[in-house]
């Protein structure tokens, strides 16, 4: 593992990771995109890569931000957009942080399924402990929600396997580590754009107004031709890890 503050040269290898990991539309967050470029510049100790020394290759990267959190459900807010805004608002004001928020875990597709998800969460937990935070909070993007885009996130998060564990694999990684599902959030990250932009991002045509499901979408997209606007709210699930010292 290397923090950006220690090995910035490794980030030359990460330029394509986001494009490999995320659907195109996910790279255009209306709120998150405004702050993304500030993470490395202003919070370099909290951005990291997991890399293979022998291959000299980056396998995954993680992004986090210290944030003020009062330990309550209401304090978690409406999701990732609200929390990243709160985190940078506190940073700009010189206010203290009380928890570490996980913003993204990006594992290159060819290295997925090798246990790196736990490794990334290990690093995030260690970063939180190093900063003397007792909590790692995560607005988790469920990895199978795109299979059920019409199912409300509140219902999806309750689905379990025969063994009682969460149906969703990424949520299951968190809960196996002791993470507690605190609340689902239907409107966590806003992505909006013109109709043409959405058609480019999804490879679909949207000939009329209304709601559409689309490839890799976790919820419906709403199209309004009179405003030349497409609006999509990505749902997340807040999971809280209480860290042992």
pLDDT (0 to 100) of residue 13: 67
Per the prediction, the chain carries an average pLDDT of: 95
DSSP 166: B
Cβ atoms of 36 and 14 closer than 8 Å: no
Q: How confident is the model at residue 10 (pLDDT cuts 50, 70, 90)?
A: confident
Determine which of 1-10, 64-73, 133-142, 206-215 has the lowest per-residue pLDDT on average.
Answer: 1-10
Cβ count near 167 (within 10 Å):
16
Domain ranges of the chain: 2-187+236-242
More confident residue, 204 or 58: 204
In tens, the pLDDT along 115-146 reads 999 999 999 999 999 999 999 999 999 999 99
Residue 163 pLDDT > 90: yes
- Cα 69 to Cα 87: distance, rounded to the nearest angstrom: 9
b/e map 104-136, b = 16+ CB within 10 Å: bbbbbeeeeeeebbebbbebbbebbeeeebebb
Say whether pLDDT at 1 is over 90.
no
- Tell me how far CA of residue 72 lies from CA of 69, 135, 153, 196, in angstroms: 8, 12, 20, 41
What is the pTM (predicted TM-score) of this model?
Answer: 0.94
CATH of domain 2-187+236-242: 3.40.630.30
* pLDDT of res. 238: 98
Q: Check residue 162 and give its pLDDT.
A: 97
What percent of the chain has a predicted confidence (pLDDT) above 70?
A: 99
Residues facing 238 on adjacent strands: 139, 183
Taking only the tens place, the pLDDT of each residue in 27-59 is 999 999 999 999 999 999 999 999 888 877 889
Report, as an integer, the average pLDDT of 216-232: 98
Q: What is the pLDDT of residue 204?
A: 98
On the question of pLDDT at 102 being above 70, the answer is yes
Residue pair 140/156 in contact by the 8 Å Cβ criterion: no
């Amino acid at each position: 593992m290397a923090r950006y503050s220690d090995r910035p040269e490794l980030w030359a290898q990460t330029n394509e990771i986001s494009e490999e990991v995320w659907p195109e539309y996910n790279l255009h967050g209306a709120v998150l995109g405004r702050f993304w470029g500030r993470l490395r510049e202003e919070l370099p100790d909290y951005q990291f890569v997991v890399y293979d020394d022998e291959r000299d290759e980056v396998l995954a990267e993680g992004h986090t931000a210290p944030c003020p959190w009062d330990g309550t459900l209401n304090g978690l807010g409406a999701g990732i957009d609200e929390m990243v805004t709160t985190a940078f608002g506190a940073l700009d004001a010189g206010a203290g942080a009380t928890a570490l928020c996980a913003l993204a875990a990006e594992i290159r597709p060819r290295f997925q399924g090798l246990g790196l998800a736990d490794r990334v969460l290990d690093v995030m937990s260690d970063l939180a402990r190093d900063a003397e935070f007792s909590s790692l909070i995560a607005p988790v993007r469920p990895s199978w929600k795109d299979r059920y885009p019409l199912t409300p996130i509140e219902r999806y998060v309750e689905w379990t396997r025969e063994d009682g564990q969460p149906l969703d694999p990424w949520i299951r990684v968190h809960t196996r580590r002791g993470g507690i599902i605190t609340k689902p959030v239907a409107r966590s990250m806003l992505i909006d754009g013109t109709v043409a932009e959405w058609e480019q991002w999804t490879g679909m045509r949207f000939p009329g107004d209304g709601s559409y499901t689309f490839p890799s979408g976790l919820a419906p997209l709403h199209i309004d031709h009179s405003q030349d606007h497409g609006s999509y709210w990505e749902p997340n699930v807040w999971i809280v890890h209480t860290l042992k010292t």
